[in-house]
Structure 1
Amino acid sequence: MRESRPSQLLRKKINRLESEYPGVQLKFHSADPFPDLESFIYTVVIRPSRMMVTEPILIIVSILSGISWGIIYLFSESITRAYITLGLSRTSATFPLLALVIGIIIGVFPHIWDVRKIRDKKRQHMQIQPEDTIMGFAFGTPALAVGLWWFYGTTPPVLWDGHWAIPTGGLVLVGLGVNEIAYTLSGYLTDTYTVYSASAFAGLAFVRALVSGAMPLIGYVLFDGKQSMVPGFVIAGIATAFCVVPFLFFRYGRRLRERSEFAKYSLEVHMRTQLGEA
């Protein structure tokens, strides 16, 4: 892959100029200094940990992305048991998981609209804000909520004698929702924290791994074969509450970024390491 990080491109350009003109020393601001072990520890441990507890945007994104992604791991328990109850064998009961893949593929279409909207803004020389790139989030949260209500409302104990294809349609929406939430929010973190987005991703990855690892254990307890509809409806209710978050980001996201000292600092460093048209 071609190098695309601005600070690295700038470093290469400076090194090339210094080799062409010996005796000339050029100074530049680098977002990636590792002069000693202390700086390395700060960059890979302390800064991500501090961001994880002080940055509201990162906290919200990590919780949403972690829970939505963890639902897939929760399904490793609930889906198989639901389809076995509907009459499928243990092996066949895992095949409906392929419906999640269909939902992920459908997620391409909202991003086509996103790309066109951003291109139009660039043609008009309008500044692109991170909130301009999260329309997929607005599609993903209701898709996840509807998909979960659909699935848990058409499987036992709510519906005992339905065809297996009925709840499978809900899984398509779940796949769409989970992928859109994870994909779009990851991009939002990148646009918000720019050159320091890797530190934000460290916190996001930690929360996502923690939740995803716990979900199969929680699912084993919640979906224990006693055929209670409560766990599924609680999960669907949580996903429904997520639906308001995209609109909160549309309305207050910029205000949150402007109040974040680190987000502002990230943008300043990003602007200082741009090559422009060079």
Structure 2
Amino acid sequence: MERKRIGNENIEVPDEMKSRGPKELFKVALTRPFRFLGTEAIIVFAALYNGYLYGLSFLFNAAFALVFGPEGHGFTISGVGLAFLGIFVGISFGPITNLWQERYYQRRIRDANGKNVPEARLQMGKVAAIIFPLSLFWFAWTTYQTVHWIVPIIASAFWGWSFYTLILMTYIYTEDAYKVYSASALAGIGLVRNLAGGGFPLFANQLFEDEGYQWAGTILAFLAVVLVPIPFILEKYGERLRLKSPWAREQVEEGESDEDTADADGTVDAV
């Protein structure tokens, strides 16, 4: 179409700009998320965090009924529901701390003369990665009936904050790293998230009843410990991983090209 509009049939059009038929578009939409999950380390890391966090959020439905219900602290059904207020408060506090994260990100962007710096999205996530398993350990070993019920609920508030912060970190980092391909990248992450969300409740009761509330929570906390290095790895090696990716590398090279052009034209000044 562009050749006809300009009247020059010799124009070379990049492959990604050539029109695609519905069949090809449908094929790409179905297969690319799986390719991201199979080949992109960044997406694997993000999917692991999202899957585990969402899985736990559904698992807690059963865990709270046991810990705070008739077999635990003796709450009624409505009381068990109110016990989730701890998580609600923690999640609600997340946007407040994200204001600091956003200021840090904007400062890094200014220091880089407007260049995209996805790794600047990870600062608060590093804190949340540590709080995440600590909150689970705290919750696990305060589920005794002899411990006041408010103590594990406070622990769940810290979990709620880490849940919000880590989910936001993985989403925004992925969008910044892949840009035009972020829909496919997030679709791959969403697949793992939904599978985990549907799978974790299937073994929740068995885990807490067979292992006991304390050791069941401890197992979950140790699994969270395994995930702690992820934001630290992405901060140190994220740019290297993006340059190795055929999709993320395009965004890095495009940003560098735009910056070089702006410097040559003198149309953009350092902020």
Q: Which blocks of at least 5 consecutive residues in structure 2 are unaligned?
A: none
Aligned residues: 253
Please say if 1:263 is aligned against 2:251.
no
Tell me the equivalent position of 1:186. 171
Asked if residue 220 in structure 1 is aligned to residue 208 in structure 2, the reply is no
Which of residues 133, 136, 142 is equivalent to 2:130?
142
Q: Paired residue for 2:120?
A: 132
Q: Matched residues, percent identical?
A: 24
Equivalence map 1:57-206=2 (5 Å): 57-84=42-69, 85-124=72-111, 125=113, 127-155=115-143, 159-206=144-191
Q: d(CA) in 1 for partners of 2:19 and 2:208?
A: 49
> Is 1:243 paired with 2:231?
no
1:140-193, CA deviations, whole angstroms, 9 ceiling, x for partnerless residues? 2122212111111100xxx22121111110010110111111111011110111
Q: Unaligned regions of 5+ residues in structure 1, if any?
A: 1-13, 15-22
Q: Distance in 1 between matches of 2:87 and 2:50?
A: 17
Normalising by the residue count of structure 1, what TM-score does the alignment of the two structures yield?
A: 0.81
Aligned-residue CA RMSD (Å): 2.9
- Supply the distance in 2 between the matched residues of 1:73 and 1:211 (Cα, whole angstroms): 9
Partners of 1:151 and 1:167 within 8 A in 2: yes
Greater alpha carbon shift after TM alignment, 186-195 vs 131-140:
131-140
How much has 1:267 moved relative to structure 2?
A: 4.4
Q: After alignment, is 243-252 or 220-229 more displaced?
A: 220-229
Q: Which whole-Å CA distance do the structure 2 matches of 1:30 and 1:174 have between them?
A: 46
Amino acid at match of 2:82: F
**Aligned-residue offset at 1:199:** 0.4
User: Equivalents in 2 of 1:239, 1:139: separation in Å?
Assistant: 13
How far apart are the structure 1 equivalents of 2:117 and 2:27? 29
Separation in 2, partners of 1:222, 1:268: 48
Residue 218 of structure 1 and its aligned partner are, at CA, apart by: 1.6
Matched residue type, 2:140: Y
For normalisation by structure 2, the TM-score amounts to: 0.83
- Give the match's secondary structure for 1:161: coil
What residue number does 1:4 align with? none
